[in-house]
C-alpha cells in the first residue's frame, strides 16, 4: 500500500498496422532454428536474446533489466506474401461484398450513406452497440450494381476458413488487400472498421508480430531435453515455409509451386492464430496432440480470461479436510497448528506491540505463536532462522512489518466449493487446535452444504486492516444466519441438536436438581441457585431464552389435527413462550433448526446477530448434553412391528394388487372408460399408479400406527425433523412401493416385457416394478433389479442436473453482477440504465425481511397486546 495508486480509466482496442508492428519489433526473425549446437540462442532466431530474458541471472539486451523484471519485447516476421487473418475472414468477406470491386466505394447510395452516418454518429456518441446497424448495412449494401460507378458487381463467396471466391476465381490475399486499400475512411467506418484505429487492409497480414519468449517459455525436462512451447513450434513452421516461399519466388519458380507454398503459409498462419478454426485440419504435435495456439490460450474455462484473469491463485491460503467440533462457536474455525505456523498475518511494528513482536520472532518459525519473516522498511524480506533471530530482534524498530503466525482471534475467510451463494464464504475467528483438520461447528454445515465424509475446505488469511474490518462487519457467520434467499435462518441446529432439544423439552422429561445441574454444567452454562425442586426440561431450556421473549407457534411434530387443542395438545406441539419461559410445546426443528427455526429467526431479528450467535451456541450445547443424559441410539429394532401389523399390511397390499388386476381386466374387456384427453392405455397406467401409490401410503400408515414416539428413536428423528422421514421408515418396515423410470412405471427391457420372467404384455403390479417387500424383509431378485433401475435413474439425473444448474447460475450471475443500489434507492447497471426505480418495489432487503415481508403484522399486533397487557 505504498506510493500513488494509479487507476486505469479505460482500455482502447484497435488493430496494429504493419508499421506499428515493425516499430514495435526489436528484431526481424529470419531463421527457423532456435538454438545452435552449444545451446545458445541463434541471432535472428525465435529465441533471439533481444526478445527478452527469463533467466534472472541474465540481463535483457533490449531494455537492460534482469530476467523477471523484463516483460519481453516483440519481434517480427516479414511474410513473403500477404495472408489473411483467420479471425477477420468473415468480416473481409462482408466488406468485399459490400464494396465496389473497381472504385472501392461502399455499395450504398449517397443518401443512404448520409442516413447511416447520422445513425452511426448517434450510436457512437452514446457508445451503444453497433452490431445491429452494421449488420443492416451489410445486407443493404449487397447490390448487383455500384451506385457510384455503375459497375456490375460479381458476388463474392467465402470458402471457409479463409478463401474468398469471386465468381469462379479465387482471390489471392494480395488482390484482396489491393481492393481494401482503396476504400475511403468514411466508407470503412460504415463497414464497421473504425478508421481511427484500423484500416481494412490491416486485416491482411504482411508482417507477423513474434511474441517475446516470456509468452512462450521453453521448459527443460528432467532428461535435460528442451521442450518448446506450442507457439514456438508453430512459429518455426511459419518461418520455414516463409523462407521456402521467398527462395522459390526469387528463383522464379513456376506459379503453381509458389501458390502451393503460399497456401501452406496461409495454413500455418491460420493455425497459429486459431487451431480450432472450422474447415482447417488442426495442426498437431508429433505425438498427435493438437497444438494449443493463440485463440486456445484465451478461450474457455481453462483459458486466460476465465482461469488467470477472472480468478487468480493466491498466497496465504490453506486447504485441508474438515471435521466437526461442537465445542467451538459457530463463528470460529479450528485451524491445525501446522497451518497456523505456515500462513501468516503481516503486523506493522509500533512501540506498543514491539515486545509482543520480539517475542514472536524469538519463538521463530517452528514454535507456535512465532513469526516467519520480517520485512524491513526498504521492502527487503528477511526469513527468520534460529541463527539470525537475535540479530533481527536487535534491529527491529517501528516501521518494520513482522509476518507472524496465525493465532486465536484472528479473522479468516472460510470457503467450501461449489460457492453457490454468498454464505459459501464467511469470515470466522481462528482457534488454533492440534491435529491436521479444519474444525467447524455443526451449525454452519447447511450454509456451506458441508458434511464430513472427506470434504475439504479452504481458508484465506486477510492481509490488510481494511479487509479485516470489512470482513468483520459484513462477512462474519452471525451476519449470515438469515439467508437473503428467503429471509429466514439458514444456519441452525441439525440432527442431534434437534432430537436432543426434543428429548430435553418433552413433557416426560423431568430431572432432579442434581441431574439438571449436571446437564447445565456439561453445557457450560451458569448454575442457578438451588431450590431443591425437581426441574422440567422446559425450565432448563428456558434459561437460554431472552427474558422478554413472547412467542406462539406450532412445532414440527404438529400433526395438523382438524381442531387445534392449542395448549392442551396431546403431542405437546403447541409452543407457548411467555416472558422467556417455555410454558408448553417441545423444541424441535421449528425452534432452531436450519431453514426452519422460528425462535432463532425471532432472536436474530429482534435481539441482533450477536445474541443469536450466543443463543445458537448455547442451545446446541444444551441439546447435546440433554441427549447425552437421555441416551440416544437407533437400530433396525426401531423398525420392528408386531406380526399382526405385518399381516394387516400384507392383506392390504394384496387387496391393492387385486385391484390392479381388476383394472387390467376391465381394460382388456374394453370396459375401462378413458379420462378426458387421455388414451385408454394412459388412463389405465394412471389408475394403476394411483392404486399402488395409495397402497404404499396406507401400508405405511398401518406401520406408523404401531410406532410410539416416546420409545422409538427413529420416529423421534423423523417427526422432529432431525433426520429421515416417515416415508423412509415405512419403506424399511412396510413396503418399498412403486419404482419409476421417466416418471412412470417401468416398461423397458425386453420385447413387450420388462424381464423374461413375465408373459409378454403383462401389466400387473409386479411385472412393472412394484416392490411389495420392505427393505427390512429384503427384496426378491426381480424387485431388486427394478429398484436398481429406479436408483440408477436418480444418479444420472443428479449428474445432469448439477451441470445444467451450474451453467444456468453462471449465466445468471454474469448477467446480473453489475447491478447495484444507488444512493437514491434505484437499481442501476454499469451502463447507467435504471433497472428498477425502487429495489424490489419497496426497497426492502430480503435478508433483513421477515420471510419476504417487512414485518408479520399479526405477530406484531400479538406482541403489542401482550406488552400492553390485553
Torsion of CA 830, 832, 835, 838, to 10 degrees: 110
Task: Name which position in 193, 245, 544, 551 contacts another protein (CB under 8 A).
Answer: 193
Rounded Cα gap, residues 224 and 128, in angstroms: 55
Question: Which of residues 315 and 814 has its CB atom nearest to another protein in the complex?
Answer: 814
Which residues neighbour 804 within 8 Å (Cβ) at sequence distance 6 or greater?
Answer: none
Residues 699, 649 contacting (CB under 8 angstroms): yes
Q: Does 836 bind another protein (CB under 8 A)?
A: yes
Question: Which of residues 791 and 825 has its CB atom nearest to another protein in the complex?
Answer: 825
Rounded Cα gap, residues 774 and 737, in angstroms: 8
Q: Which residues inside 707-746 make contact with another protein, applying CB under 8 A?
A: 742-743
Q: Does 66 bind another protein (CB under 8 A)?
A: no
Task: Name which position in 170, 284, 485, 654 contacts another protein (CB under 8 A).
Answer: 485
Task: Name which position in 254, 532, 677, 781 contacts another protein (CB under 8 A).
Answer: 677
Location of C-alpha cell 436408483? 791
Q: Which value, in Å, is the radius of gyration of the alpha carbons in the chain?
A: 38
Task: Tell which residue, 489, 469, 473, 472, has the closest CA to residue 481.
Answer: 489
Shortest Cβ 97–another protein spacing (Å): 16
Question: Which of residues 274 and 410 has its CB atom nearest to another protein in the complex?
Answer: 274
Q: Does 221 bind another protein (CB under 8 A)?
A: no
Rounded Cα gap, residues 208 and 306, in angstroms: 27
Q: Which residues inside 10-29 make contact with another protein, applying CB under 8 A?
A: 10-15
Task: Name which position in 391, 686, 727, 788 contacts another protein (CB under 8 A).
Answer: 686
Task: Name which position in 221, 251, 643, 857 contacts another protein (CB under 8 A).
Answer: 857
Q: Name beta bridge partners: 70.
A: 67
Question: Which of residues 61 and 421 has its CB atom nearest to another protein in the complex?
Answer: 421
Q: Which residues inside 130-169 make contact with another protein, applying CB under 8 A?
A: 130-131
Shortest Cβ 863–another protein spacing (Å): 9
Q: Single out the segment in contact with another protein by CB under 8 A; choices: 145-153, 574-582, 696-704, 795-803.
A: 795-803
Question: Which of residues 37 and 127 has its CB atom nearest to another protein in the complex?
Answer: 127
Q: Does 7 bind another protein (CB under 8 A)?
A: yes
Rounded Cα gap, residues 459 and 446, in angstroms: 18
Which residues neighbour 6 within 8 Å (Cβ) at sequence distance 6 or greater?
Answer: none
Question: Which of residues 114 and 309 has its CB atom nearest to another protein in the complex?
Answer: 309
Cβ atoms within 10 Å of 227's Cβ, excluding its own: 11
Rounded Cα gap, residues 281 and 160, in angstroms: 12
Residues 13, 61 contacting (CB under 8 angstroms): no
Q: Single out the segment in contact with another protein by CB under 8 A; choices: 1-9, 580-588, 622-630, 728-736.
A: 1-9
Residues 411-450, mask of contacts with another protein (x by CB under 8 A): ---------xxx----------------------------
Residues 81-120, mask of contacts with another protein (x by CB under 8 A): ------xx--x-----------------------------
Question: Which of residues 347 and 828 has its CB atom nearest to another protein in the complex?
Answer: 828
Size of the site for another protein (CB under 8 A): 103
Q: Does 9 bind another protein (CB under 8 A)?
A: yes
Question: Which of residues 174 and 307 has its CB atom nearest to another protein in the complex?
Answer: 307
Write out the three cell numbers for 608.
441482533
Instruction: Quote the strand ranges of 744-787, DSSP E.
Output: 744-745, 770-771
Question: Which of residues 91 and 102 has its CB atom nearest to another protein in the complex?
Answer: 91
Residues 275, 292 contacting (CB under 8 angstroms): yes
Question: Which of residues 279 and 300 has its CB atom nearest to another protein in the complex?
Answer: 300
93 sits in which H/E element: helix 89-98
Rounded Cα gap, residues 495 and 718, in angstroms: 10
Write out the three cell numbers for 22.
515493425
Torsion of CA 354, 357, 362, 364, to 10 degrees: -160
Shortest Cβ 464–another protein spacing (Å): 12
Question: Which of residues 526 and 857 has its CB atom nearest to another protein in the complex?
Answer: 857
Q: Which residues inside 462-481 make contact with another protein, applying CB under 8 A?
A: 470, 474
Residues 123, 130 contacting (CB under 8 angstroms): yes
Q: Which residues inside 287-346 make contact with another protein, applying CB under 8 A?
A: 295, 298-300, 303, 305-306, 309-310
Location of C-alpha cell 451450474? 806
Amino acid at each position: 500500500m505504498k506510493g500513488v495508486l494509479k487507476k486505469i480509466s479505460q482500455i482502447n482496442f484497435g488493430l496494429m498496422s504493419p508499421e506499428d508492428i515493425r516499430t514495435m519489433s526489436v528484431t526481424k526473425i529470419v531463421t527457423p532454428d532456435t538454438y545452435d549446437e552449444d545451446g545458445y540462442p541463434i541471432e535472428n532466431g525465435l529465441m533471439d536474446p533481444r526478445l527478452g530474458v527469463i533467466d534472472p541471472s541474465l540481463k535483457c539486451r533490449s531494455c537492460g533489466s534482469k530476467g523477471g523484471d523484463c516483460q519481453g519485447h516483440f519481434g517480427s516476421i516479414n511474410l513473403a506474401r500477404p495472408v489473411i487473418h483467420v479471425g477477420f475472414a468473415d468480416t473481409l468477406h462482408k466488406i468485399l461484398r459490400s464494396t465496389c470491386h473497381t472504385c472501392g466505394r461502399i455499395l450504398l447510395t449517397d443518401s443512404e450513406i448520409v442516413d447511416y452516418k447520422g445513425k452511426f454518429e448517434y450510436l457512437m456518441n452514446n457508445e451503444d452497440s453497433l452490431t445491429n446497424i452494421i449488420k443492416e448495412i451489410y445486407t443493404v449494401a449487397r447490390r448487383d450494381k455500384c451506385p457510384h460507378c455503375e459497375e456490375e458487381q460479381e458476388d463474392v463467396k467465402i470458402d471457409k476458413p479463409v478463401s474468398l471466391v469471386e465468381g469462379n476465381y479465387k482471390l489471392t490475399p494480395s488482390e484482396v488487400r489491393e481492393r481494401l486499400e482503396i476504400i475511403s475512411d468514411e466508407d470503412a467506418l460504415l463497414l464497421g472498421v473504425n478508421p481511427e484505429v484500423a484500416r481494412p487492409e490491416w486485416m491482411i497480414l504482411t508482417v507477423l508480430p513474434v511474441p517475446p519468449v516470456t509468452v512462450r517459455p521453453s521448459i527443460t525436462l528432467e532428461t535435460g531435453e528442451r521442450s518448446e512451447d506450442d507457439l514456438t513450434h508453430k512459429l518455426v513452421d511459419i518461418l520455414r515455409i516463409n523462407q521456402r516461399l521467398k527462395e522459390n519466388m526469387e528463383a522464379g519458380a513456376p506459379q503453381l509451386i509458389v501458390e502451393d507454398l503460399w497456401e501452406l503459409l496461409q495454413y500455418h498462419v491460420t493455425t497459429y492464430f486459431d487451431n480450432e478454426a472450422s474447415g482447417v485440419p488442426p495442426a498437431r504435435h508429433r505425438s498427435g496432440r493438437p497444438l494449443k495456439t493463440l485463440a486456445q490460450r484465451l478461450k474457455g474455462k481453462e483459458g486466460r480470461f476465465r482461469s488467470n484473469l477472472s480468478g487468480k491463485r493466491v498466497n496465504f491460503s490453506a486447504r485441508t479436510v474438515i471435521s466437526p467440533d461442537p465445542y467451538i462457536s459457530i463463528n470460529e474455525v479450528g485451524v491445525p497448528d501446522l497451518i497456523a505456523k505456515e500462513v501468516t498475518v503481516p503486523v506493522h511494528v509500533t512501540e506498543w506491540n514491539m515486545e509482543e513482536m520480539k517475542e514472536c520472532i524469538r519463538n521463530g518459525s517452528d514454535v507456535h505463536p512465532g513469526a516467519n519473516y520480517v520485512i524491513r522498511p526498504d521492502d527487503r524480506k528477511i526469513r527468520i532462522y534460529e541463527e539470525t533471530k537475535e540479530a533481527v530482534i536487535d534491529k527491529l524498530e517501528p516501521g518494520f512489518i513482522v509476518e507472524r503466525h496465525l493465532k486465536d482471534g484472528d479473522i479468516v475467510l472460510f470457503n467450501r466449493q461449489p460457492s453457490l451463494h454468498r454464505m459459501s464464504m464467511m469470515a470466522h475467528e481462528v482457534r488454533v487446535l492440534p491435529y491436521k483438520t479444519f474444525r467447524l461447528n455443526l451449525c454452519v454445515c447447511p450454509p456451506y452444504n458441508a458434511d464430513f465424509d472427506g470434504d475439504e475446505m479452504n481458508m484465506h488469511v486477510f492481509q490488510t486492516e481494511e479487509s479485516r474490518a470489512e470482513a468483520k462487519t459484513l462477512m462474519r457467520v452471525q451476519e449470515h444466519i438469515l439467508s437473503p434467499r428467503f429471509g429466514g435462518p439458514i444456519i441452525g441446529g441439525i440432527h442431534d441438536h434437534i432430537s436432543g432439544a426434543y428429548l430435553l423439552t418433552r413433557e416426560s422429561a423431568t430431572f432432579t436438581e442434581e441431574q439438571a445441574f449436571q446437564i447445565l454444567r456439561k453445557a457450560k452454562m451458569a448454575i442457578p441457585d438451588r431450590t431443591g425442586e425437581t426441574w422440567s426440561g422446559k425450565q432448563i431450556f428456558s434459561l437460554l431464552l431472552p427474558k422478554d421473549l413472547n412467542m406462539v407457534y406450532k412445532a414440527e411434530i404438529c400433526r395438523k389435527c382438524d381442531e387445534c387443542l392449542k395448549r392442551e395438545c396431546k403431542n405437546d406441539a403447541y409452543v407457548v413462550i411467555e416472558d422467556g419461559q417455555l410454558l408448553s410445546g417441545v423444541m424441535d426443528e421449528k425452534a432452531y433448526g436450519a431453514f426452519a427455526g422460528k425462535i432463532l429467526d425471532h432472536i436474530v431479528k429482534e435481539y441482533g446477530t450477536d445474541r443469536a450467535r450466543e443463543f445458537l451456541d448455547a442451545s446446541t450445547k444444551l441439546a447435546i448434553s440433554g441427549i447425552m443424559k437421555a441416551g440416544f441410539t437407533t437400530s433396525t429394532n426401531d423398525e420392528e412391528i408386531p406380526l399382526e401389523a405385518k399381516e394387516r399390511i400384507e392383506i392390504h397390499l394384496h387387496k391393492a394388487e387385486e385391484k390392479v388386476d381388476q383394472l387390467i381386466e376391465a381394460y382388456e374387456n374394453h370396459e375401462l372408460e378413458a379420462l378426458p384427453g387421455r388414451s385408454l392405455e394412459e388412463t389405465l397406467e394412471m389408475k394403476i399408479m394411483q392404486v399402488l401409490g395409495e397402497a404404499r401410503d396406507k401400508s405405511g400408515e398401518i406401520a406408523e400406527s404401531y410406532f410410539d414416539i416416546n420409545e422409538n428413536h427413529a420416529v423421534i428423528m423423523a417427526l422432529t425433523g432431525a433426520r429421515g422421514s416417515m416415508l423412509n421408515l415405512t419403506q424399511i418396515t412396510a413396503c418399498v412401493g412403486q419404482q419409476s423410470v421417466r416418471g412412470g412405471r417401468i416398461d423397458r427391457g425386453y420385447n413387450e416385457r420388462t424381464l423374461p420372467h413375465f408373459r409378454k404384455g403383462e401389466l400387473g403390479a409386479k411385472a412393472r416394478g412394484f416392490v411389495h417387500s420392505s427393505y427390512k424383509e429384503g427384496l426378491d431378485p426381480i424387485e431388486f433389479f427394478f429398484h436398481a433401475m429406479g436408483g440408477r435413474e436418480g444418479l444420472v439425473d443428479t449428474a445432469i442436473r448439477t451441470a445444467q444448474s451450474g451453467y444456468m447460475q453462471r449465466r445468471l450471475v454474469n448477467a446480473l453482477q453489475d447491478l447495484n443500489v444507488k444512493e437514491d434507492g434505484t437499481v442501476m447497471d454499469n451502463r447507467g440504465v435504471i433497472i428498477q426505480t425502487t429495489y424490489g418495489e419497496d426497497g426492502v432487503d430480503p435478508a433483513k425481511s421477515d420471510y419476504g415481508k417487512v414485518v408479520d403484522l399479526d405477530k406484531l399486533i400479538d406482541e403489542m397486546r401482550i406488552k400492553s397487557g390485553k
